[in-house]
Amino acid sequence: MSTQNVFERILDGEIPCDTVFENDDILAFRDIAPQAPVHIVIIPKKKGIVSIQEVASDDEMAIVVKIIAVAQQLARDFRIDKTGYRLLTNAGLNSGQEVLHLHFHLIGGAPLGPLA
Ligand code: AMP
Protein backbone atom coordinates (compact mmCIF):
# COMPACT_ATOMS: atom_id res chain seq x y z
CA MET A 1 0.00 0.00 0.00
CA SER A 2 1.48 3.33 -1.07
CA THR A 3 1.90 5.95 1.64
CA GLN A 4 1.64 8.67 -0.99
CA ASN A 5 -1.58 10.61 -1.48
CA VAL A 6 -3.59 10.27 -4.67
CA PHE A 7 -2.07 13.30 -6.40
CA GLU A 8 1.47 12.13 -5.66
CA ARG A 9 0.52 8.76 -7.12
CA ILE A 10 -0.83 10.50 -10.21
CA LEU A 11 2.48 12.38 -10.49
CA ASP A 12 4.35 9.07 -10.31
CA GLY A 13 2.15 7.54 -12.99
CA GLU A 14 0.71 4.97 -10.57
CA ILE A 15 -2.83 6.28 -11.12
CA PRO A 16 -4.05 7.54 -14.50
CA CYS A 17 -5.51 10.99 -14.96
CA ASP A 18 -7.13 12.97 -17.75
CA THR A 19 -4.36 15.51 -18.32
CA VAL A 20 -5.32 18.87 -19.82
CA PHE A 21 -2.02 20.69 -19.25
CA GLU A 22 1.52 19.80 -18.22
CA ASN A 23 4.88 21.51 -18.04
CA ASP A 24 8.02 21.09 -15.91
CA ASP A 25 6.40 22.50 -12.78
CA ILE A 26 2.68 21.92 -13.09
CA LEU A 27 0.13 19.24 -13.95
CA ALA A 28 -3.56 19.89 -14.57
CA PHE A 29 -6.19 17.21 -15.02
CA ARG A 30 -9.96 16.77 -14.92
CA ASP A 31 -11.44 16.23 -11.48
CA ILE A 32 -12.76 12.69 -11.10
CA ALA A 33 -15.97 13.99 -9.47
CA PRO A 34 -16.70 17.23 -11.33
CA GLN A 35 -18.81 19.84 -9.58
CA ALA A 36 -19.53 21.71 -12.83
CA PRO A 37 -19.11 21.17 -16.59
CA VAL A 38 -15.51 22.33 -16.29
CA HIS A 39 -13.69 21.13 -13.19
CA ILE A 40 -9.93 20.94 -13.45
CA VAL A 41 -7.40 20.30 -10.68
CA ILE A 42 -4.10 22.15 -11.01
CA ILE A 43 -1.16 20.92 -8.93
CA PRO A 44 2.54 21.61 -8.55
CA LYS A 45 4.76 18.67 -9.47
CA LYS A 46 6.85 19.41 -6.40
CA LYS A 47 5.84 17.07 -3.60
CA GLY A 48 5.55 17.93 0.07
CA ILE A 49 3.53 21.16 -0.07
CA VAL A 50 0.42 20.14 1.83
CA SER A 51 -1.65 23.27 1.23
CA ILE A 52 -1.44 26.98 0.44
CA GLN A 53 -0.73 27.51 4.15
CA GLU A 54 2.55 25.61 3.76
CA VAL A 55 3.82 27.64 0.80
CA ALA A 56 6.98 29.22 2.18
CA SER A 57 9.99 29.76 -0.05
CA ASP A 58 10.25 32.19 -2.93
CA ASP A 59 10.38 29.20 -5.29
CA GLU A 60 7.13 27.84 -3.88
CA MET A 61 5.49 31.25 -4.09
CA ALA A 62 6.63 31.44 -7.71
CA ILE A 63 4.95 28.11 -8.45
CA VAL A 64 1.67 29.48 -7.12
CA VAL A 65 1.96 32.45 -9.48
CA LYS A 66 2.64 30.04 -12.34
CA ILE A 67 -0.44 28.03 -11.37
CA ILE A 68 -2.52 31.21 -11.60
CA ALA A 69 -1.18 31.83 -15.11
CA VAL A 70 -2.01 28.24 -16.07
CA ALA A 71 -5.53 28.70 -14.68
CA GLN A 72 -5.97 31.81 -16.83
CA GLN A 73 -4.83 29.90 -19.92
CA LEU A 74 -7.06 26.91 -19.16
CA ALA A 75 -10.00 29.27 -18.63
CA ARG A 76 -9.41 30.56 -22.15
CA ASP A 77 -8.88 27.03 -23.55
CA PHE A 78 -12.13 25.78 -22.00
CA ARG A 79 -13.97 28.98 -22.94
CA ILE A 80 -14.95 29.96 -19.43
CA ASP A 81 -12.79 33.08 -19.31
CA LYS A 82 -15.66 35.30 -20.42
CA THR A 83 -18.50 33.53 -18.61
CA GLY A 84 -16.60 33.31 -15.34
CA TYR A 85 -15.21 30.67 -13.06
CA ARG A 86 -14.05 29.93 -9.57
CA LEU A 87 -10.40 29.26 -8.73
CA LEU A 88 -10.19 27.90 -5.22
CA THR A 89 -7.88 26.02 -2.93
CA ASN A 90 -8.82 24.22 0.24
CA ALA A 91 -6.47 24.28 3.22
CA GLY A 92 -6.98 22.18 6.28
CA LEU A 93 -9.73 20.47 8.16
CA ASN A 94 -12.49 23.07 8.15
CA SER A 95 -12.14 23.60 4.41
CA GLY A 96 -12.86 19.94 3.72
CA GLN A 97 -9.48 19.44 2.07
CA GLU A 98 -9.23 15.76 1.19
CA VAL A 99 -5.95 15.46 -0.67
CA LEU A 100 -2.89 16.69 1.22
CA HIS A 101 -0.99 18.00 -1.80
CA LEU A 102 -1.42 21.68 -2.74
CA HIS A 103 -4.00 22.02 -5.49
CA PHE A 104 -6.33 24.54 -7.07
CA HIS A 105 -9.78 23.79 -8.44
CA LEU A 106 -10.74 25.59 -11.66
CA ILE A 107 -14.53 25.33 -11.84
CA GLY A 108 -16.91 26.83 -14.38
CA GLY A 109 -19.15 26.31 -17.35
CA ALA A 110 -22.38 26.97 -15.44
CA PRO A 111 -23.62 29.26 -12.66
CA LEU A 112 -21.90 28.06 -9.50
CA GLY A 113 -24.08 29.40 -6.74
CA PRO A 114 -22.86 30.90 -3.49
CA LEU A 115 -19.84 29.64 -1.62
CA ALA A 116 -20.70 27.33 1.24
P1 AMP B 1 -9.99 18.77 -1.97
O2 AMP B 1 -11.26 18.44 -1.25
O3 AMP B 1 -9.78 20.24 -2.18
O4 AMP B 1 -8.80 18.09 -1.35
O5 AMP B 1 -10.17 18.21 -3.43
C6 AMP B 1 -9.69 16.98 -3.86
C7 AMP B 1 -10.29 16.73 -5.22
O8 AMP B 1 -9.59 15.68 -5.83
C9 AMP B 1 -11.77 16.32 -5.20
O10 AMP B 1 -12.52 17.26 -5.97
C11 AMP B 1 -11.76 14.93 -5.84
O12 AMP B 1 -12.88 14.70 -6.65
C13 AMP B 1 -10.48 14.97 -6.64
N14 AMP B 1 -9.89 13.67 -6.91
C15 AMP B 1 -9.65 12.66 -6.04
N16 AMP B 1 -9.07 11.62 -6.66
C17 AMP B 1 -8.91 11.98 -7.95
C18 AMP B 1 -8.37 11.33 -9.10
N19 AMP B 1 -7.85 10.08 -9.07
N20 AMP B 1 -8.37 12.00 -10.29
C21 AMP B 1 -8.88 13.25 -10.35
N22 AMP B 1 -9.40 13.91 -9.30
C23 AMP B 1 -9.43 13.29 -8.12
Is 80 exceeded by the pLDDT of residue 14? Answer: yes
Cα separation of 59 and 65, whole Å? Answer: 10
Which residues contact ligand 1 via a Cβ below 6 A? 6, 15, 17, 29, 31-33, 41, 90, 96-99
Is 70 exceeded by the pLDDT of residue 87? Answer: yes
Is 90 exceeded by the pLDDT of residue 3? Answer: no
- Across the chain, mean pLDDT equals 97
103 is catalytic: yes
Phi then psi for residue 106, to 5 deg, are -105, 115
Cα separation of 84 and 107, whole Å? Answer: 9
| Count of CB atoms situated within 10 Å of the CB of 6 | 16
DSSP for residue 31: -
The 3-state DSSP class for residue 43 equals strand
Cα separation of 19 and 7, whole Å? Answer: 12
Rounded to the nearest whole angstrom, what is the distance from the C-alpha of residue 103 to the centroid of ligand 1? 9
Which of 98, 101, 102, 115 best tests ligand 1's pocket when mutated (most atoms within 8 Å of CB)?
A: 98
pLDDT band at 41 (very low <50, low <70, confident <90, very high): very high
Closest CA to 111 of 16, 28, 4, 37: 37
Look at the pTM and tell me if it is higher than 0.95.
yes
